[in-house]
């Protein structure tokens, strides 16, 4: 983690960015976080620039309100083994071999390319492109 000098800004890169974000990012990714306080309000701004996995930067903000009387109940957590499998086994699908990629689009009647997401799909102009895309066939019965 690189400290920028501003007490309310941190920049994380590579593996540190993975920890800051909580999900997988590429080694080329950077995550910049700003904490901005306005009286009783705190805004947490996260700017994620990952040129490998994201087609454009991702920006997320979360707002908090100061509440000195807030009570948070105890939250007992424990680590559990959810699926019993050998420690050396890593579940995966080889590129182009994932049989579940068309399950969601078929169930909800959306084109497969749209279901895969990406920045392009959030803009209003994408609605015109959607009209030209084929809908997926019904999923095979299992």
Q: What is the mean pLDDT of each run of 10 residues along the chain (142 residues)?
A: 55 60 73 89 90 87 92 80 83 88 89 87 91 79 62
Q: Which two tokens stand for residue 67?
A: 């509440």
Rounded to two decimals, the pTM is 0.58
Cα 40 from Cα 70, distance rounded (Å): 14
Contact between 45 and 59 under an 8 Å Cβ cutoff? The reply is yes
pLDDT at 7: 53
Cα 19 from Cα 23, distance rounded (Å): 7
Cα 130 from Cα 110, distance rounded (Å): 9
Q: Which two tokens stand for residue 125?
A: 């102009």
Distances (CA, A) of 81 to 22, 23, 46, 76, 84: 20, 20, 32, 16, 7
Contact between 41 and 65 under an 8 Å Cβ cutoff? The reply is yes
pLDDT at 96: 84
pLDDT at 122: 86
Q: Which two tokens stand for residue 3?
A: 């400290």
pLDDT at 128: 93
Task: Please calculate the CA angle 128-134-138 and round it to the nearest 5 degrees.
Answer: 135
């Amino acid at each position: 983690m690189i400290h920028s000098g501003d007490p309310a800004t941190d920049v994380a890169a590579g593996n540190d960015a993975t920890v800051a974000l909580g999900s997988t990012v590429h080694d080329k990714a950077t995550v910049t976080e700003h904490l901005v306080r306005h009286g009783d309000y705190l805004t947490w701004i996260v700017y994620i620039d990952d040129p490998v996995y994201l087609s454009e930067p991702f920006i997320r903000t979360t707002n908090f309100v100061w509440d000195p009387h807030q009570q948070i109940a105890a939250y007992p957590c424990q680590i559990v083994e959810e699926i019993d499998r050998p420690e050396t086994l890593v579940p995966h699908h080889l590129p182009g071999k994932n049989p579940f990629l068309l399950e969601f689009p078929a169930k909800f009647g959306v084109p497969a390319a749209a279901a895969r997401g990406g920045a392009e799909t959030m803009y209003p102009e994408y609605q015109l492109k959607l009209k030209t895309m084929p809908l997926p066939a019904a999923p095979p019965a299992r």
